Amino acid sequence: TILSFVNPGVHFTVQPAKAEADDGGPLQAVGYPGSGRLLSQVEKDHPAYQYLVSRRFDPEKLAREFGVGLVDTDTEANLVGRIIVPIHMHGQMVGWQGRYPGDIDWKGTGIRKYWNLPHMKKSRMLYGYDQARAFPYCIVVEGVTDVWRVGPPAVCILGNSLNFAQRRLICTTWQTVFVMLDPDAMEKSRIAVHELKNHLREAGGQVVEITLPGGKDPADFDARDLQWIIADASEKAGVT
């Protein structure tokens, strides 16, 4: 299927490409699923728009800065009405996530919070990578909404554990890394974070762990509060 997204003064269509069949070689460019619109073109009373506003996100800003949209029609009924989050790396779209526009009893309803591009190699991806590359440091978080809240230079691991490929990508891109994962993700990533610390220490870099109050996710905080928390952790660690 072909997606047709409309932006003021801009109209573009993308023919989806198939994901790679193996783990070798560079990530391949893909397209959006189905047909849809950028959030800036979605009615303000639409459930997806209202959900994001209820979580104190600006849909217009998400469309402008991250290309976030909404699927209107698709051969996969599970994607219709979902918030589509494109994942870009090295200037091309390499994957996407379809986020359900609400927070419900996931286990009880059987509804999945996220639908990913089939066969997407998220273990080799960092959401927000292209924006964060412009900074001398990055802030590693768990999910896409955490990146939205923190803003650049945050990158997310698209799951609850930091893996080898992501750690290698982080090490080759930044010398200073802040890790701000929720307690569960931090526990599952403990070995990877330890190895990240050792590698960057040998290269003259530094890793700073940030524990948020109340075991909350970054997306649960106001952006200004997060800035203070990050600045405080940076000062205590002697990061300039």
pLDDT, residue 240, reads: 66
Give pTM, 2 decimals. Answer: 0.86
In this model, does residue 51 exceed pLDDT 90?
Answer: yes
SS3 51: helix
Mean pLDDT of the chain: 86
- Locate 204 and state its tokens: 């003259």
Measured on CA atoms in the order 170, 173, 176, 180, is the torsion positive or negative? negative
Rounded alpha-carbon distances, angstroms, from residue 141 to 22, 37, 152, 211: 27, 27, 11, 11
Q: What is the CA radius of gyration of the chain?
A: 18
pLDDT, residue 76, reads: 66
CA 182 – CA 112 distance, rounded (Å): 20
pLDDT, residue 25, reads: 66
- What are φ and ψ of residue 74, in 5° steps? -165, 155
- Measured torsion, CA atoms of residues 24, 78, 55, 222, in degrees rounded to the nearest 10: -10
Beta bridge partners of residue 208, listed in sequence order: 178
pLDDT, residue 32, reads: 83
Cis status of the peptide bond prior to 153, with omega within 30 of 0: yes
Rounded alpha-carbon distances, angstroms, from residue 41 to 23, 53, 131: 36, 15, 23
Q: Which long-range contacts (CB under 8 A, 24 or more apart) does 109-116 make?
A: 112/78, 115/76, 115/78, 115/79, 115/82
Residues 149-164: what's their mean pLDDT?
Answer: 92
Residue 227 CB neighbour total at 10 angstroms: 13
Q: What is the pLDDT of residues 190-228, one digit of tens each?
A: 888 889 999 898 888 999 999 898 888 899 999 999 999
Beta bridge partners of residue 6, listed in sequence order: 11
Q: Which residue type is seen at 235? A: E
pLDDT, residue 108, reads: 93
CA 28 to chain centroid, in Å, comes to 18
Strand spans (E) along the chain: 3-7, 10-14, 35-38, 69-73, 83-89, 92-99, 114-116, 137-141, 154-156, 176-179, 206-209
CA 104 – CA 224 distance, rounded (Å): 28
Q: Which residue type is seen at 101? A: P
